[in-house]
Chains A and B, each alone.
Chain A
Amino acid sequence: DQQVKQNSPSLSVQEGRISILNCDYTNSMFDYFLWYKKYPAEGPTFLISISSIKDKNEDGRFTVFLNKSAKHLSLHIVPSQPGDSAVYFCAASEVGGTSYGKLTFGQGTILTVHP
């Protein structure tokens, strides 16, 4: 039972354009969402996060949008750069209690940015 889903296995965009990566979740207990970026032969690195009390969080070229009613979030990268080419994972967590920060990940989306 995949509680976090990234339905697009891959995305290809031109340098300078917008990249939009999507993620859906089913567990209503999730209240903290994160995006991780992973290069081959490296561990995932944290990119940006959003709490369920917000609907948008921005950090430079990266913006995450959360639509709680639709259980959907998206990551926008503007403008896209060739160095952004990587696998992007969406992750979700329950805050506090005995969650210990456990993350549930989506399947990942391979982003390729062409020069």
Chain B
Amino acid sequence: DVKVTQSSRYLVKRTGEKVFLECVQDMDHENMFWYRQDPGLGLRLIYFSYDVKMKEKGDIPEGYSVSREKKERFSLILESASTNQTSMYLCASSFLRGTLYEQYFGPGTRLTVT
């Protein structure tokens, strides 16, 4: 049974703070992703990683950075949190089954920046 866990379910931070969101998967998946979910906008890809220390920008990387030092762990970093980063953050991991990828999501972190 695939498990993707996120360090916090709810987080409240102040404007300007540095924020770390952690994600861990236990299935040895190669690829990991960070999305944010906002009403009316769906899920938007922030960054993804296809291997340790490898990362690529998604559709909305501005204001974020990521770190992947170990295969099972993918961190999202908000260098200086702003109120427009208040959102639901979802981590996912995927692997190739045959020719198609299967992607599994964590439960999400609801971040509020005040």
Contacts and interface: CB of A to CB of B under 8 A. Distances in A.
A9 B50 contact: no
B71 to A, nearest CB: 14
Interface residues of A, number: 28
Nearest to A90: B42
A68 B102 CA distance: 22
Interface of A: 4, 6, 9, 32, 36, 41-46, 49, 51, 89, 91, 93, 95-96, 99-108
Interface string B83-114: 00000001010101001111111111010000
B43 interface: yes
B106 A43 contact: yes
B105 A105 contact: no
Contact of B107 (A4, A43, A102, A103): A43
A106 B106 CA distance: 19
